Amino acid sequence: MRSKVAGLGACFLASAVLAIGAVLPKIQLPANSPVSLLGTDYSDSNETARGGAMVVDLHAALTLVNSDQRRIRGITLVVTAQEVTPGGRGSVTLANLDVGPKESFPVRIDMRLLKPLQGGSGVPVLIGLDGVLFDDLSFVGPDKLGSKRMLTVNELEARRDRKYFKALFAEGGAQKIQNEILGIIQRQTQNPGVDVQMVRAGRSTNLDSERPVRFAFLNMPDSPIQPLEGSARVAGNEARSPQLEVKNRSDRSVRYLEIGWILQDHQGREYVAGSVPAELNLGPGQTSPLLNDTTLRFPSRPGQPLAIDGMTGFVSTVEYSDGNVWIPTRADLATDPRLRAIPSGEEQRLVQIYRKGGINAVVGELKKF
């Protein structure tokens, strides 16, 4: 590495940031893998010694082949530079695929990973398979990252929304679909989204005085889970020690659910926030508390400090103990206009297609399924 810094400053710089060389990841696919490797390109990848760690800048272009007789709808790969070190692992998920038997498809991996400096150089980055979802909703893979649930939810939402858009096309042709897409874009602009972080209680980041806030809930008629009363101590952009109870009103046991949030600030502006996951063992008719000993933190948007004035929750995903998944129907989403401001993955994908290729490209995409 070249530098114009002289003397001790140059020596320090050379020891703090040391280029080690290229990265050659190792692909590890199981013996029964439904995908096989056709080609790789790691030419833009490198690893660098920085301080006391190795920084791996991985830029990989893989070409995989569907080795199964079923059509692939989604895949998750796990990338590991080091199992223990924070920042040593990552993953890449591709959803909304339609890959037939013996067809190939590209997978792009761009991420930065960390591993210990001692013994770090020469230790390969491992790229493995966490799972593949097929068109019959069957799944193959170790599923250590919960890929089966994530990919299944995405596929069910995609099927639900494609059915809806096809119905619009049957009613009013391409113009009807275009109107809906323009409405999605407008709602996204008017109702900006924010992230949500769930941390252990007590790790507060602001000194605002706390005040109690009761949660409101949107009731979806088809939801197997009914949120009951809830409240939290709110300070600034944090909801501390939330007290929330849910009831299983289905005839099947539930092992996982997600609660989405809609926030309101002091000016009456509303923000769509991400969902908070919860693992549980909830039998039919039973109730259970959620989110005990946690703090929900909603990072402010750039230039827009967020001060929570009200919170509205809704059930966005439910997984039963048998592995089946529930998601809201289009009728459920129509019960409150605020829910329409939360675009699904498929709606966002169709919006991107519209922006690149116009309405004809969207219609062509819908006809593929």
* Backbone φ and ψ of 152, nearest 5°: -65, -45
Instruction: Provide mean pLDDT across the span 12-41.
Output: 72
Inform me whether the pLDDT recorded for 13 exceeds 60.
no
Instruction: Report the alpha-carbon distance of residue 48 to residue 18 in Å, rounded.
Output: 6
Residue type at 35 in one-letter notation = V
Choice between 61 and 300, residue whose per-residue pLDDT is larger: 61
Beta bridge partners of 52: none
Q: Could you tell me which CATH number the domain at 7-143 has? A: 2.60.40
**Delimiting residues of CATH 2.60.40 domain(s) in the chain:** 7-143
Instruction: Provide mean pLDDT across the span 135-139.
Output: 97
3-state DSSP helix/strand/coil percent for the chain, to nearest 5?
25, 45, 35
Reported as a single tens digit per residue, the pLDDT across 53-106 is 788 899 999 999 999 999 999 999 999 988 777 788 999 999 999 999 999 999
When mean pLDDT is compared across 8-12, 112-116, 123-127, 208-212, the lowest value belongs to 8-12
Determine if residue 172 is left, alpha or beta; phi over 0 gives left, psi from -120 to 50 gives alpha, anything else beta. Answer: alpha
DSSP E strand boundaries for 298-345: 308-320, 325-326
Instruction: Report the alpha-carbon distance of residue 278 to residue 298 in Å, rounded.
Output: 17
Is 365 in contact with 355 (CB distance < 8 Å)? no
Residue type at 48 in one-letter notation = T
- The reported pLDDT for the residue numbered 229 is 84
The token duo for 282 is: 């909830």
Determine if residue 69 is left, alpha or beta; phi over 0 gives left, psi from -120 to 50 gives alpha, anything else beta. Answer: alpha
Instruction: Provide mean pLDDT across the span 144-164.
Output: 96
The token duo for 360 is: 């004809």
Give the position of tokens 């079923």.
70
- The reported pLDDT for the residue numbered 18 is 38
Burial class (CB in 10 A: 0-12, 13-18, 19+), 119: exposed
The token duo for 306 is: 């967020």
- The reported pLDDT for the residue numbered 157 is 96
Is 309 in contact with 235 (CB distance < 8 Å)? no
Counting residues of the chain whose pLDDT is more than 70, the rounded percentage is 88
| Angle (nearest 5°) at CA 145 between 64 and 69 | 35
What is the average pLDDT value for the chain, to the nearest integer? 85
Give the position of tokens 């038997």.
101
Instruction: Provide mean pLDDT across the span 35-41.
Output: 96
Residue 308: pLDDT band with limits 50, 70, 90: confident
Instruction: Provide mean pLDDT across the span 213-230.
Output: 90
Q: Count the helices and strands in the chain (H runs, E runs).
A: 4, 21
Total residues found in the chain within this entry? 369
Comparing CA positions, the residue from 94, 95, 105, 83 lying closest to residue 38 is 105
Burial 260-280 (b: 16+ CB within 10 A, else e): bbbbbbeeeebbbbbbbbbeb
Counting residues of the chain whose pLDDT is more than 90, the rounded percentage is 52
| Contacts (Cβ under 8 Å, ≥6 apart) of 278 | 256, 257, 258, 259, 290, 291
- The reported pLDDT for the residue numbered 10 is 35
- The reported pLDDT for the residue numbered 192 is 65
